[in-house]
Amino acid sequence: MSRIVHVAAAQVGPVERESPRAEVLDRLIALLTEGAARGADVVVFPELALTPFFPRWFLEGDELESFYEDEVPGPSTKPLFEEARRLGVGVSLGYAERDGAHHYNTQVLVGKDGQVVAKYRKVHLPGHEEHEPWRPFQHLERRYFERGDGFHVSRAFGGVVGMAICNDRRWPETYRVLSLQGAELILIGYNTPIHYAPDPGQDRLAGFHNNLVMAAGAYQNGCWVVGVAKAGIEGGVPGLAESQIIAPSGEVVAKTVTEGDEVIVAACDLDLCDNYRKTLFDFDRYRLPEHYGLITSQRGVVPPPEAS
Ligand code: ING
């Protein structure tokens, strides 16, 4: 009997600075309802789904603090999680977390019963720490968030589920660390500006790189990968859409075709993971950590020969 999890990726279009929270929740509930109507067991929302991607601005004091949530699920997101429980659907939601004096870029996983299954705090924080006026927009995640404590998996929806957030998906270690723990389904929300100020030459490759890293991660670790965008022009900054659900083969089984609020759904057969995990990528049989010396923190970098 196949272990099939019906997963909905709920892509969210722009959330503006002045978007009232109630309006955002109404949009998320509409996406949740559509996912449930299309048979989803779990609906996955993007990174920082409740707010604009505020690290694009240099903010301080009350306005910065206004973007964080002290408790999710909690009073500010009650309508969303109450509806999810009523519909009997799980939810993965990205939001800015305040934990006392600490701040994290967080994704929470809530089961069909409304109980929190797991909370993941983003590990790979891209961008910069100080205001850099030369940039057309900022990327101040390293100023606004602390790093999380690592990647973990949980039993949920009949399988083993892990989470990652945005820049995490670009690092192969993310998928490997999760798959070494048995992850069969990895849920990833993202906010990805098309323009990359440190090297604008990469802009034209934003969509290619997005698929490249997630498809490779799925295939090389024999797991399902779900990437969900906050998309469209938000705060004047074009954000990559192209949310997609990727099988352990690396094939895209569902992909959004708009840059707004859009739901895609796939029947993820978790037993397909073994087609790769018990053959080509049988870690116990073929993977040789003892021969990967440099996998530790050493950086045995050999510089290129001096230009002659
Ligand atoms: N965003 C981006 C990401 O890794 C980025 C940062 C933008 C990297 C453009 C490369 C190019 O998708 C977040 N939030 O990590």
pLDDT tens digits along 39-56:
999 999 999 999 999 999
From the alpha carbon of 202, which atom of ligand 1 is closest?
11
Model pLDDT, residue 295: 61
Share of the chain above pLDDT 70, in %: 96
Give the residue carrying structure tokens 């929270």.
21
Q: Which of 56, 137, 139, 214 to mutate to test the pocket of ligand 1 (most atoms within 8 A of CB)?
A: 139
From the alpha carbon of 240, which atom of ligand 1 is closest?
12
Is a pLDDT exceeding 70 seen at residue 297?
no
Secondary structure (H, E, C), 94-113: EEEEEECCEEEEEEEEECCC
Is a pLDDT exceeding 70 seen at residue 176?
yes
CB of 8 within 8 A of CB of 263? yes
Each residue of 254-268: pLDDT tens digit? 999 999 999 999 999
DSSP single-letter state for residue 280: T
State the virtual CA torsion across 53, 250, 108, 10 in degrees, nearest 10. Answer: 60
CA pair distance 261, 43, nearest whole angstrom: 13
Each residue of 91-139: pLDDT tens digit? 999 999 999 999 999 999 999 999 999 999 999 999 999 999 999 999 9
Two tokens, residue 71: 């408790």
Model pLDDT, residue 292: 87
Model pLDDT, residue 293: 75
Model pLDDT, residue 308: 60
Least confidently predicted of 66-70, 109-113, 292-296? 292-296
Model pLDDT, residue 84: 98
Describe the crossing of helices 206-221 and 172-180 by its angle, rounded to 10 degrees. 20
Give the number of other Cβ atoms within 10 Å of residue 236's Cβ. Answer: 10
Q: Per residue in 197-219, is it b (16+ CB within 10 Å) or e — as a string?
A: beeeeeeeebeeebbebbbbbbb
- Confidence tier at 224 by pLDDT (50, 70, 90): very high
Pocket of ligand 1 (CB under 6 A): 126, 166-167, 170, 190-193, 196
Instruction: Tell how far the Cα of 208 is from the centroid of ligand 1, in angstroms.
Output: 13
Secondary structure (H, E, C), 264-304: EEEEEEHHHHHHHHCCCCCHHHHCCHHHCHHHCCCCCCCCC
CA pair distance 288, 219, nearest whole angstrom: 18
Average pLDDT over residues 75-94: 97
Which of 132, 169, 147 is closest to 57 using CA atoms? 132
Helix (H, G, I), strand (E, B) or coil at 231: coil
Residues taking part in catalysis: 47, 122, 166
Question: What domains can be seen in the chain, in order of their start residue?
Answer: 4-302 (3.60.110.10)
115: phi > 0 → left, psi -120 to 50 → alpha, else beta; which?
Answer: beta
Is a pLDDT exceeding 70 seen at residue 148?
yes
Q: Which of 171, 192, 242 to mutate to test the pocket of ligand 1 (most atoms within 8 A of CB)?
A: 192
Two tokens, residue 156: 């949920």
State the virtual CA torsion across 157, 162, 167, 172 in degrees, nearest 10. Answer: -130
To the nearest whole number, what is the mean pLDDT of the chain? 96
How distant is the alpha carbon of residue 160 from its chain centre? Answer: 16
Two tokens, residue 225: 């990968």
Give the residue carrying structure tokens 């989803």.
40
Amino acid, single-letter form, for residue 175 = Y
CA pair distance 256, 225, nearest whole angstrom: 15
From the alpha carbon of 105, which atom of ligand 1 is closest?
14
End-to-end Cα, the chain, rounded Å:
63
Paired residues of 106 in beta bridges: 95, 121
Record the pTM: 0.96
CA pair distance 29, 6, nearest whole angstrom: 18
- Confidence tier at 305 by pLDDT (50, 70, 90): confident
Q: Which residues have a Cβ under 8 Å from the Cβ of 111 and sit 6 or more positions away?
A: 90, 117, 156, 157
Average pLDDT over residues 165-178: 98
The residue contributing the CA closest to ligand 1 atom 15 is 167
Give the number of other Cβ atoms within 10 Å of residue 45's Cβ. Answer: 28
Model pLDDT, residue 185: 98
